[in-house]
Amino acid sequence: MKKSKGLALIGLWLLLVSPLASHAISGVYAGGPVYQKRDYAIDELKSSGFTHVIVWTIHIEADGSLGFNAEFPLVKDGTYIGDQSYPHFRKDIASLKTGDTSIVRVEFGLSGWGSGTYDNVRDLLACEEKHCGTGKESILYRNFRALREAFPAVDALNNDDEGTYDVGSAVPFHVMLSDVGFKTAIVPYKNKDFWQSFVEGVNSARGGAVDLSYLQVYDGGSANNPCNWDLGLPLVAGLWSREVSPAQLQSRLQNWTESCAIEGGFMWLYDEFNNSPGVVSYADAINAVFGGANPLGKSSRGSAGGSFKSP
């Protein structure tokens, strides 16, 4: 597919001004262990060598309330209530980027395969009652503002729409998220035309609001070639620990870098290799290709398992 001049200019602008361009990206998706196994998981992630952690995942319910990983309620009626289930969650998320750590960016997943999240977004933007839409009195705005206030260290929400693909509602919703204070990352595995329209739509309204693409090259996206997914964003290619060893991961990433410009790699899924040498091994494999964090997981920039499948 031919790239538009607009996309090319957006891509150039991102490379010139985005902090993402100043370090290699080694990412990992992490679910249940982050809050269920906090006695080791937080420190393990901080010392892993991974630079980006995507904590998996938020789902939006039909009434606009937010739940985490289909396991516990997070925000309801404009109020953060996650402390009732996991009182240390907020502090632990904030700690990921503080002290001795390789982590420079933290994201929350949003949706996933089998989730009704973006169906509910579509419906909440289409209704006409006071709680509808994306204005400051809407339930979506109030709930995500509460999320922003509860988690000031979270940099972005990681859009994993895998079924709704409605540009007309997804664009204004993510414009709203930008206004609340969140960047947007995307994690596509198919439907490139939708994602191109989504990125163009959001970034034309709020420049740089969508700033990173994590391409799934596993499971349903196993046939993807990162070289065919230029959306004018820094691109990170992801593989699944069930399908590749650290050595295989490094080899595939190296091959892609010889064919096109990708900014890093990511792993799905920490939950399947947590509390093991695999955590450092997978991070090291990515960093060996892109020159990321050192093996001790130290970073001078550190200040700043649910029931659904995939990404």
For residue 303, is it within any domain? no
**pLDDT tens across 163-202, in order?**
999 999 999 999 999 999 999 999 999 999 999 999 999 9
pLDDT band at 143 (very low <50, low <70, confident <90, very high): very high
- Position 294 scores a pLDDT of 52
For residue 306, is it within any domain? no
- Position 5 scores a pLDDT of 35
Could you tell me the CATH number of the domain that includes residue 60? Answer: 3.20.20.80
**pLDDT tens across 252-281, in order?**
999 999 999 999 999 999 999 999 999 999
Neighbouring-strand partners of residue 213? 186, 235
Residue 291 amino acid letter: G
For residue 296, is it within any domain? no
Give the C-alpha separation, 228 to 257, whole Å: 13
For residue 171, is it within any domain? yes
pLDDT band at 144 (very low <50, low <70, confident <90, very high): very high
For residue 301, is it within any domain? no
For residue 170, is it within any domain? yes
**pLDDT tens across 293-302, in order?**
654 444 333 3
For residue 46, is it within any domain? yes
What DSSP string runs through 78-118? TEE-GGGT-TTHHHHHHHTTSSS-S--EEEEEE--BT--HH
**pLDDT tens across 63-87, in order?**
999 999 999 999 999 999 999 999 9
Q: How many structural domains are present in the chain? A: 1
- Domain range for residue 157? 5-290
